[in-house]
Amino acid sequence: MKDKGLTLILKAIDVSLDWRKLIVAVAGLAATLGAGAFLMFLGSRTGAAGLFLFTLVGFIVLWVGLSLVYGMLTRMSYLHLTRGDAGSWQEALGYAVAHWASLVFTGLVMGLALLGIFLVEVIVLLLGRIPYLGELIASLAFVPLTLLNAFALLVVVVGSWLIYPIIAAEGTGVAGTIQRVVALVRRSPGQVVAYVAIAMIAVLFASWIIFAIGYGGVALTAVATLMGAGSRLGRLFGGITPGMGMSPYGFGAMPYRATSLPFTMQLAGLIYAVGLAVLAAIWMAFPVLFLMSAATATYLSVSESGAEGAPANENP
């Protein structure tokens, strides 16, 4: 592929409008968010311990599910950008499942590594407590440690943008992916920062428009429901107009905890919550897909192999 730089980033928009990837994005996000909503609903019908347990399991399901969805979308975007054909969702799912450990744990390991660097610095700077000599040691270490921390933040905050494309293109494990992220950020920090900034601005603008339209649609439907079905349903819609939490559980979370509600009302609340999860998946599909496509374009631009380099990893 000959497109590079900003041209490749702009082409990510066209890649994001492919209907097959959009369907995969909507289905994957809806299934993941719906599962999280259902688990949290089950937790709301138990005690405090059960609520904590189901909420924890729900967040784990969300993390793993979203990681697999992101992996599928990135794999399809990579094939589309390099070959012109995104392939099938079955192939993308098989690839994501085969590399699930890398997709799920690489970001966590990078975050823990940043925390580890900070703790080591704190331990080393205990030398600063030594009278007379300590303040000299701390002052001399200030600039080197600042540069180290700045680079570590650059790798974690900006370099993590490249995690999914690296796995989608090279099939690396956790350690190999982190090594590639560090190498690419060291070689082209300016390019990575610039492309991430451009893509984030576009995504934020698109997300704002989509959220405004989606929120307005839900609010109008809620008002129409209250006017038509009666004010008793206000116990389900109470959380919408003040600030509809865009989580699958934010839609009617409080009514689930009201033990005075009949079972049918609680079941209706669950249906509303799952419905909102589906709507949220529809609204999130393009922004998420564009993020993955732009990240893949960034990887192709800064990678040594680039768009004309190593072929896609055929085997999971």
Q: Which residues contact 63 (CB under 8 A, 6 or more apart)?
A: 104
Name the CA radius of gyration of the chain, rounded.
Answer: 23
Q: Which residues contact 162 (CB under 8 A, 6 or more apart)?
A: 180, 181, 184, 185, 192, 295, 298, 299, 302
Angle at 91 (CA atoms; ends 202, 164), nearest 5 degrees: 40
pLDDT of residue 244: 42
Measured distance CA(54)–CA(141) in Å, rounded = 45
pLDDT of residue 226: 73
User: Hey, what are 288's tokens?
Assistant: 């998420």
Per-residue model confidence as pLDDT tens digits over 219-268: 788 778 777 776 666 666 554 444 444 333 344 444 444 445 677 777 77
pLDDT of residue 3: 56
User: Measured in Å, how far apart are the chain's first and last C-alpha atoms?
Assistant: 23
pLDDT of residue 230: 66
The more confident residue out of 225 and 55 is: 55
Measured distance CA(81)–CA(2) in Å, rounded = 10
Q: In angstroms, what CA-CA distances link 169 with 101, 117, 173, 185?
A: 16, 29, 12, 17
Is the pLDDT score of 303 beyond 60? yes
Please compute the mean of the pLDDT values over residues 173-202 and round it to a whole number. 86
Domain residue limits, the chain: 5-96+189-308
Per-residue model confidence as pLDDT tens digits over 3-30: 555 676 677 777 887 888 888 998 998 8
Measured distance CA(150)–CA(144) in Å, rounded = 10
**Among the listed ranges 41-50, 58-67, 113-122, 183-192, which one has the minimum average pLDDT value?**
41-50
Is the pLDDT score of 211 beyond 90? no
148 pLDDT band, cuts 50/70/90, is very high
Is the pLDDT score of 181 beyond 80? yes
User: Hey, what are 223's tokens?
Assistant: 């008002």
Helices 263-302 and 48-83: crossing angle, nearest 10°?
40
pLDDT of residue 161: 85
The structure's pTM equals 0.76
Per-residue model confidence as pLDDT tens digits over 100-146: 999 999 999 999 999 999 999 999 889 888 888 888 888 999 999 99
pLDDT of residue 86: 82
Q: Which residues contact 57 (CB under 8 A, 6 or more apart)?
A: 39
